Structure 1
Amino acid sequence: MKSMTWLTRLMLPYWRHIILALILSALTITSHIGLMVTSAYLLARAALHPPVLDLMVTIVGVRFFGISRAVFRYLERYVSHDVTFRVLSQIRVKFYQGIEPLAPARLLNFRSGDLLSRIVADVEIQQNLFLRVFAPPFVALLVLLGYGLFLARYDTRFSVILAVCFLVGGLGIPWAIKGLSRGVGRQLVDLKAELNTQVADTLLGITELVAYGRVQAYLDEIQRTDKELLGQQRRIARLSGLSSALMGLIANLGLWLVLVLGIMLVENGKLSGVNLGMLALGTFSSFEALFPLALVPHHLEKNRAAADRLLELIEAEPAVKNNETLSPKPDGLDLVFTDLCFRYERDEPWALNHLSFRIPKQGKVAIVGPSGAGKTSVVNLLLRFWEYDEGRIDLGGHSLREYTQEDVRCFIGVLTQRTHLFNATIRENLLLAKPEGTEEELIQASQQAKLHDFILTLPQGYDSYVGEGGFQLSGGQRQRLAIARVLLKNAPILILDEAMAGLDPLTERAVMDEVYQLMEGRTTLVITHRLIGLEKMDEILVLDHGQIVERGNHEELLRQEGLYHKMWVTGAGI
């Protein structure tokens, strides 16, 4: 029920629209009842050949209810869908606000396809919350009260018949369908999520699957999941048909009961025969309000299952708790690591073990070491993606934990080996770093990154699309675009995390020259396992198993003939 409470709370701000939608829905069914009632009365009266003027009011009534039903239906759909889409937008916003603090630490526990399924499929399921879960019971109650009072004018037993049929159809049939469909709603949600995840994984890894001949195995798994999903959907389709048949049976039973009682009253002279067809057909029409109720339990179960999946992420504890107070003003932009210890999980070995070093303002420090030495962990902690366990990190004389995550990242520009480029224009990819950036600033950053001339050769210039992941650009062009983005941000602290990995030697040399210009006037931390260009670093730290095993400049480390010298000799510096 926690998930339903959460969803209901999101709907409450739109209570005026909700009430209006309920009233319009009840008026739509009332107009349908009115159309049947007046039509039946008109036919019965006309059979007695009264003066035409005596039928004028009834004729106008038929026209009125025929037109009003269409008008009310349009207005009801407009308002109810407006409420639904507003609530869906709130759910999407809440979901993003919930998962944003989890990135990247906590989100690594979820598959990308599963995350996509939650934010798309599970959110879309909530469109049924108002239309198929909340609204039908209230509308049925309004119709029962309204038409029940109308029937009571002729005989209260008509109202009793209507009430009993409504109770059987509105409570008995949904209860029976709920028992037959127990667990199907949750299984549908889980199977759809699994299918989406499998398809996404297959598409993302299609190259490797083809190379290793595993395509058919993955397709078989997708087909098995799809077969299970189709089986559950067929089950729901059968239950939907059964519920419609039972509701039709109840509606016809109500019609016949009213008709039999009406005939008895006509025979006793207590009811005009003209009204007999009117009451019977009106009763039959009122059951339009009952038909959506049969599958309310099924839709409720689906909504709850999908909402539980959303709340699982929204309520997850982030790896880093943001500082609630205002960030301090840094006194300079030096970075100090003091006796720092960190591990990703409690039962794992230390990724960083009593790490201590200092990067002065505008200083240049490189951290090198073999894979798994803990180099990238330093970057993750600086950007506050993870929280360190022991020790301290100071930025400008204040503990890093005193700053909000957003403020810390404002001070830092990051250039990584896997810079993500969105399937958007060059301009839009650059403006990620500075949304308010001017055209002059874009051009200046691109010129400094040696990218401007290339952009001018493109048909659309800065408005040219780079493709998914920037596939329309070469490796060097992608890195230059990343450099331009960092230049546009103009952050005082620069982190280069394996920024040259994946580039050919000639491109690497060219890009490195541009990167060295980027370092000027900035506090710089270089993370790399290649030793090219480290002669210009003020200090080099050699990490192994999370600990500093060597430190010094390039020449000093080579003379020590330790791990750094070994990496140089074996080719890391070539």
Structure 2
Amino acid sequence: MKRRMGLRIVWAVLAGAAADLAGLGLIAAAAWLITRAAEQPELAALSVAIVATRAFATSRGVFRYAERLTGHDVALRAQAETRERLYGALIPPQQPRHGGADLLSRMVDDTEAVQDLLVRVLLPATAALITGAAAVVIALTLAPFAALVLLAGLVVAGVLLPVGTAAAARRWSARLAPARAALAERVADLVHGSADLAAYGAGERALAKAMEADAELAALERRQSRVHAASLGVGTLVQGLTVAGIVLAARAAGADTVATAVLALTALVSFEPVLPLAAAGERMAGITAALRRLREVRSASPAVTEPQAPAAPPEGPVTVQVDDLVVRHAPGAPPAVDGISFTLEPGKRVALVGPSGAGKSTVLAALMRLLEPECGSVRVNGVNTAELDSGQVRTLMTGLTQDPYIFRTTLRDNLRLAGPEATDDDLARAVRDARLDQWVSRTGWDAELGEDGRTVSGGQLQRLSLARALLYDPQVLLLDEPAEALDEETADALMADLLDVTHDRTTLLVTHRLKGLEQVDEIIVMEHGRAIQRGTHDDLLAVPGYYRDLWQSEALTRR
């Protein structure tokens, strides 16, 4: 693959250089033909120039088409490969360093730097080098001193000017990509959080922050435009002065009219591939910053360390044993989970309850190998999950997360994310178990759901996510706050259905709600990462503590 890509790049470079050389030859031949024809020689003396002019004109278009076709093909392939590698780097869980909008900006905008590196920098620079050398050789054969003037002008326009624009652009280019990411994040907050912003009266403040981000980006882009305009003006000035100097040098050397015309027009055209190099130098500063941002993502440390030789995944009914688990979200931070232990035997249901920040969701993340424990272990049938591939672990243990995502596609396709090979009967069974069958019968399987579940209610969203988890059918079902952000009636109904459908299914449930927990086998009360109480529902009601207090509070609320 790399060898084939390299051959495509070489062909694109050669085609681009051939197109510019054909353009140079066209102008040189046409200049000689026009000036020589003014002397009224015999027609036979002009025949070679006439044929050369036609040949150069035709080949220039052919080679330019080949260069555009091959160059953009290579650039788009390289961009697609870069996005694939970037996406692959994001698949293993990473330490949270970038927001979603920032990652989107890197995926869309920064990966275009690879395309620009080939199309706007590498190919033009190579073609300009070859064309400029050819123009100097032509000038050297006609007037050596004029060739020196042309060489000096090409060096200024093709080397010094791009270096200068790159240095000037470097000051703001490193800030341009983060500014675009910041604006994208503000706009995403306005679009996706419009309802919450309106509810809290924070819409104007959020809009003002977005306008500030837009103003900062606009200021940086104005600087970019000024650098671009200045480089274009200086390049045009250098081109004109060089042509004027060549004409003076040719006349001083005693060159005839034909040679002087050929030299002047050849020099003028030789700057055509050279002048864009100033913009390439300016763009190179942005490309360097974009590639640096891509490297930051690809070099980010994964949240968990994958084993070099993963053990075989356990088969059959699994028993999950958690022993003295300790998890920190950052080095030196207080432990989010501090020495918790429990066992999930086949068919057993365990509930983790406790106040927000107690570490319940962190336990689930550690079980799914989304976080690396500091010490302690999670074993499946005696095999430490650290010895298993993290994908294998999440195949065994997964389920309903706090923030389930619904794609903007049909209900059927959203469900089939969990089971691509699922039949219609499988889908119907999962929907029925999640108590969504009546809703599906009204809307139909091909009803399109809005982005992020905006067209469904909170209860329907949670039930749809539950149906997806049941369709996937992991050996250990993990449920993280399934009734969160639902009204009292909907939450009670969902919890009742959930406890009913998970009967005899190995389940770990994280919840703030206590209603219905008399059906689970064990309840673990967590606080500050520790297990402060454990037992059955009746056991915990018999002793003072968080569980009994919360139960009594919920009972008063229901009355």
CA distance in 2: counterparts of 1:465 and 1:170, whole angstroms:
55
Is 1:173 the counterpart of 2:161? The answer is: yes
Tell me by how many angstroms 1:158 deviates. Answer: 4.1
Tell me by how many angstroms 1:534 deviates. Answer: 1.4
Please show how residues 103-118 of structure 1 align to structure 2 within 5 Å. 103=94, 106-107=95-96, 109-118=97-106
Aligned residue for 1:110, secondary structure, equals coil
Would the alpha carbon gap of residues 421 and 160 (structure 1) be closer, same or farther in structure 2, given more than 3 Å must change? same
Q: 2:322 aligns with which of 315, 337, 340?
A: 337
Tell me by how many angstroms 1:54 deviates. Answer: 4.0
CA distance in 1: counterparts of 2:353 and 2:200, whole angstroms:
34
Question: Could you tell me which residue of structure 2 aligns to residue 210 of structure 1?
Answer: 198
Cα-to-partner distance string for 1:246-288 (whole Å, 9 max, x where unaligned):
22222223323333343345x4xxx554343223211211111
Question: Could you tell me which residue of structure 2 aligns to residue 391 of structure 1?
Answer: 376
Q: 2:308 aligns with which of 307, 313, 324?
A: 324
Cα-to-partner distance string for 1:346-397 (whole Å, 9 max, x where unaligned):
3332222221221211111122222222211211111111111121211111
Aligned residue for 1:543, secondary structure, equals strand
Cα-to-partner distance string for 1:471-527 (whole Å, 9 max, x where unaligned):
222233222222221122121111122212233444344434442343244211111
Is 1:545 the counterpart of 2:536? The answer is: no
For the 8 Å contact 1:417–1:502, the answer to whether it is kept is no
For the 8 Å contact 2:166–2:285, the answer to whether it is kept is no
Is 1:301 the counterpart of 2:285? The answer is: yes
CA distance in 1: counterparts of 2:405 and 2:214, whole angstroms:
32
Q: 1:489 aligns with which of 468, 472, 476?
A: 472
CA distance in 2: counterparts of 1:537 and 1:188, whole angstroms:
54
Cα-to-partner distance string for 1:395-434 (whole Å, 9 max, x where unaligned):
1111111111100011123123432211221122112112
Would the alpha carbon gap of residues 215 and 360 (structure 1) be closer, same or farther in structure 2, given more than 3 Å must change? closer
Cα-to-partner distance string for 1:533-571 (whole Å, 9 max, x where unaligned):
112212222222222222222222222243322221111
Q: 1:466 aligns with which of 449, 462, 479?
A: 449
Aligned residue for 1:365, secondary structure, equals strand
CA distance in 2: counterparts of 1:235 and 1:417, whole angstroms:
44
* One-letter amino acid of the structure 2 residue matched with residue 547 of structure 1: R
Question: Could you tell me which residue of structure 1 aligns to residue 55 of structure 2?
Answer: 64
Aligned residue for 1:85, secondary structure, equals helix
For the 8 Å contact 1:328–1:398, the answer to whether it is kept is no
Would the alpha carbon gap of residues 239 and 478 (structure 1) be closer, same or farther in structure 2, given more than 3 Å must change? closer
Choose 394-403 or 474-483, whichever is displaced more.
474-483
* One-letter amino acid of the structure 2 residue matched with residue 137 of structure 1: A
For the 8 Å contact 1:487–1:518, the answer to whether it is kept is no
Q: 1:187 aligns with which of 141, 165, 175?
A: 175
Question: Could you tell me which residue of structure 2 aligns to residue 499 of structure 1?
Answer: 482
Question: Could you tell me which residue of structure 1 aligns to residue 70 of structure 2?
Answer: 79
Cα-to-partner distance string for 1:115-158 (whole Å, 9 max, x where unaligned):
22222222223432122222333222111222333333334444
CA distance in 2: counterparts of 1:513 and 1:563, whole angstroms:
22
Aligned residue for 1:101, secondary structure, equals coil
Question: Could you tell me which residue of structure 2 aligns to residue 99 of structure 1?
Answer: 90
* One-letter amino acid of the structure 2 residue matched with residue 471 of structure 1: R
Is 1:530 the counterpart of 2:513? The answer is: yes
- Give the TM-score normalised by structure 2: 0.92
Question: Could you tell me which residue of structure 1 aligns to residue 391 of structure 2?
Answer: 406
For the 8 Å contact 2:326–2:338, the answer to whether it is kept is yes
Would the alpha carbon gap of residues 29 and 476 (structure 1) be closer, same or farther in structure 2, given more than 3 Å must change? same
Would the alpha carbon gap of residues 218 and 279 (structure 1) be closer, same or farther in structure 2, given more than 3 Å must change? same
CA distance in 2: counterparts of 1:517 and 1:212, whole angstroms:
37
CA distance in 2: counterparts of 1:280 and 1:229, whole angstroms:
43
CA distance in 1: counterparts of 2:250 and 2:221, whole angstroms:
43
For the 8 Å contact 1:11–1:87, the answer to whether it is kept is no
Q: 1:451 aligns with which of 388, 412, 436?
A: 436
Cα-to-partner distance string for 1:446-484 (whole Å, 9 max, x where unaligned):
3333334432432xx322211022122223322222222
For the 8 Å contact 1:446–1:481, the answer to whether it is kept is yes
- Give the TM-score normalised by structure 1: 0.90
* One-letter amino acid of the structure 2 residue matched with residue 565 of structure 1: R
For the 8 Å contact 2:142–2:259, the answer to whether it is kept is no
Would the alpha carbon gap of residues 321 and 224 (structure 1) be closer, same or farther in structure 2, given more than 3 Å must change? same
Would the alpha carbon gap of residues 12 and 258 (structure 1) be closer, same or farther in structure 2, given more than 3 Å must change? farther
CA distance in 1: counterparts of 2:512 and 2:196, whole angstroms:
26
Aligned residue for 1:293, secondary structure, equals helix
Question: Could you tell me which residue of structure 2 aligns to residue 7 of structure 1?
Answer: none
Aligned residue for 1:183, secondary structure, equals helix
Question: Could you tell me which residue of structure 1 aligns to residue 332 of structure 2?
Answer: 347
For the 8 Å contact 2:399–2:466, the answer to whether it is kept is no
Q: 1:119 aligns with which of 107, 121, 137?
A: 107
Would the alpha carbon gap of residues 490 and 224 (structure 1) be closer, same or farther in structure 2, given more than 3 Å must change? closer
Question: Could you tell me which residue of structure 1 aligns to residue 419 of structure 2?
Answer: 434
Question: Could you tell me which residue of structure 2 aligns to residue 222 of structure 1?
Answer: 210
CA distance in 1: counterparts of 2:249 and 2:18, whole angstroms:
27
Question: Could you tell me which residue of structure 1 aligns to residue 541 of structure 2?
Answer: 558
CA distance in 2: counterparts of 1:86 and 1:240, whole angstroms:
28
Tell me by how many angstroms 1:83 deviates. Answer: 1.5
For the 8 Å contact 2:523–2:535, the answer to whether it is kept is yes
Is 1:312 the counterpart of 2:300? The answer is: no
* One-letter amino acid of the structure 1 residue matched with residue 35 of structure 2: A
Would the alpha carbon gap of residues 511 and 175 (structure 1) be closer, same or farther in structure 2, given more than 3 Å must change? closer
Question: Could you tell me which residue of structure 2 aligns to residue 3 of structure 1?
Answer: none
CA distance in 2: counterparts of 1:420 and 1:132, whole angstroms:
39
CA distance in 1: counterparts of 2:213 and 2:204, whole angstroms:
14
CA distance in 2: counterparts of 1:129 and 1:202, whole angstroms:
34
Q: 2:401 aligns with which of 393, 413, 416?
A: 416
Would the alpha carbon gap of residues 191 and 495 (structure 1) be closer, same or farther in structure 2, given more than 3 Å must change? closer
Aligned residue for 2:407, secondary structure, equals coil
Q: 1:21 aligns with which of 5, 8, 12?
A: 12
Aligned residue for 2:400, secondary structure, equals strand
CA distance in 2: counterparts of 1:417 and 1:46, whole angstroms:
82
Would the alpha carbon gap of residues 284 and 202 (structure 1) be closer, same or farther in structure 2, given more than 3 Å must change? same
Question: Could you tell me which residue of structure 2 aligns to residue 234 of structure 1?
Answer: 222
Q: 1:163 aligns with which of 144, 151, 166?
A: 151
Is 1:137 the counterpart of 2:125? The answer is: yes
Question: Could you tell me which residue of structure 2 aligns to residue 364 of structure 1?
Answer: 349
Cα-to-partner distance string for 1:27-60 (whole Å, 9 max, x where unaligned):
2212222222222222223223334444343333
For the 8 Å contact 1:117–1:197, the answer to whether it is kept is no
Unmatched 5+ stretches in structure 2: none
Aligned residue for 2:142, secondary structure, equals coil
Question: Could you tell me which residue of structure 2 aligns to residue 244 of structure 1?
Answer: 232
For the 8 Å contact 1:476–1:511, the answer to whether it is kept is yes
Q: 1:88 aligns with which of 55, 79, 84?
A: 79
| Alignment root-mean-square deviation, CA | 2.5
Aligned residue for 1:356, secondary structure, equals strand
Is 1:254 the counterpart of 2:237? The answer is: no
CA distance in 2: counterparts of 1:118 and 1:186, whole angstroms:
13
Q: 2:135 aligns with which of 128, 140, 147?
A: 147
Aligned residue for 1:496, secondary structure, equals strand
User: Percent identity, aligned pairs only?
Assistant: 34
Choose 472-481 or 308-317, whichever is displaced more.
472-481
CA distance in 2: counterparts of 1:229 and 1:248, whole angstroms:
29
Aligned residue for 1:465, secondary structure, equals coil
For the 8 Å contact 1:37–1:278, the answer to whether it is kept is yes
* One-letter amino acid of the structure 2 residue matched with residue 89 of structure 1: A
Choose 78-87 or 231-240, whichever is displaced more.
231-240
Count of aligned pairs: 556
Would the alpha carbon gap of residues 176 and 543 (structure 1) be closer, same or farther in structure 2, given more than 3 Å must change? closer
For the 8 Å contact 1:324–1:404, the answer to whether it is kept is no
Tell me by how many angstroms 1:84 deviates. Answer: 1.4
